[in-house]
Structure 1
Amino acid sequence: MTEIRTPRLLLRRWHDDDLAPMADIDADPRVMRWIDGGSVRDLEHTAKAIERWEEEWDEEGFGLFAVELLASGELAGCAGLSVPEFGPQALPDVAISWRLGPQFWGQGYASEAAHATLEFALQDRGLDRVISISQVGDAASENIMRKLGMALDCEMTHPVYGRPLRIHAIDLTEYQA
Structure 2
Amino acid sequence: MEVVQTARMVLSRVTADDLDAVHEIHSDPRTSVYHPSGPITDIESSRAMLGLWLDDWDERGLGYWAARPHDSQHVLGFGGLRHAVVDDRHVLNLYYRFRPSAWGHGYALELVRAALDVGKGLGTVVAVIRDINEPSRRVAERAGMRRERTIPYGGVPSDLYVA
TM-score for the superposition, normalised by structure 2: 0.92
Residue identity matched to 2:133: D
Instruction: Kindly indicate whether the alpha-carbon contact (under 8 Å) linking 2:149 and 2:159 is maintained by their aligned counterparts in 1.
Output: yes
The alignment partner of 1:67 has SS state of: strand
1:47 is aligned with what amino acid?
R
What is the deviation of 1:153?
A: 1.0
Q: Mind listing any 5+ residue stretches in structure 2 that lack a counterpart?
A: none
- Once the two structures are TM-superposed, the CA of residue 157 in structure 1 deviates from its matched residue by 1.5
Structure 1 gap segments, 5+ residues each: 171-177
Deviates more, 1:111-120 or 1:7-16: 7-16
- Alpha-carbon offset, residue 128 of structure 1: 3.9
Encode CA deviations 1:105-163: one digit per residue, 9 max, x unaligned.
100011111111110111xxx224211110011011111111111111111112xx421
Q: What one-letter code is carried by the residue in structure 1 that aligns with 2:157?
A: P
- In the TM superposition, residue 85 of structure 1 has moved relative to its aligned partner by 5.2
Q: CA–CA distance in 1 between the matches of 2:46 and 2:76?
A: 15
Q: Which residues in structure 2 correspond to 1:1-177 (within 5 Å)?
A: 2-84=2-84, 87-88=87-88, 91-122=89-120, 126-158=121-153, 161-170=154-163
> Aligned residues: percent identity?
27
Contact 1:26/1:42 (<8 A) preserved = no
Q: Aligned with 2:11: secondary structure? A: strand
**Helix, strand or coil: the match of 1:93?**
strand
- Indicate the structure with greater strand content: 2
User: For residue 157 of structure 1, what is the amino acid of its counterpart?
Assistant: P
Q: Please report the TM-score for the alignment, with normalisation by the length of structure 1.
A: 0.85
Would you identify which runs of 4 or more consecutive aligned residues in structure 1 move more than 3 Å?
A: 84-87
What's the Cα RMSD here?
Answer: 1.7
Moved more, 40-49 or 106-115: 40-49
